[in-house]
Amino acid sequence: MLQATAAGMALSLIPWRFAQATPEAMAQAVRETFGVRPIREGRVLLELPKLAENGNVVPVTVSVDSPTTESDHVVAIHLFSERNPLPNIVAVFLGPHNGRARVATRIRLAETQKVLAVARMNDDSLWSASVEVVTTITGCG
pLDDT, position 136: 84
pLDDT, position 21: 73
pLDDT, position 78: 97
Q: Which fold has domain 37-135?
A: Immunoglobulin-like (2.60.40)
pLDDT, position 99: 86
Report residues of the chain scoring pLDDT below 50: 1-2, 4-18
Q: Please, what is the Cα angle at 16 between 14 and 22, to 5 degrees?
A: 160
pLDDT, position 58: 94
pLDDT, position 15: 45
**Rounded Cα gap, residues 119 and 94, in angstroms:** 10
**Rounded Cα gap, residues 111 and 84, in angstroms:** 7
DSSP state of 41: E
The full DSSP string for 78-141 is EEEESSSSSSEEEEEE--GGGSS-EEEEEE--SSSEEEEEEEEETTS-EEEEEEEEEESS-S--
Q: Which amino acid is at 127?
A: W
pLDDT, position 7: 46
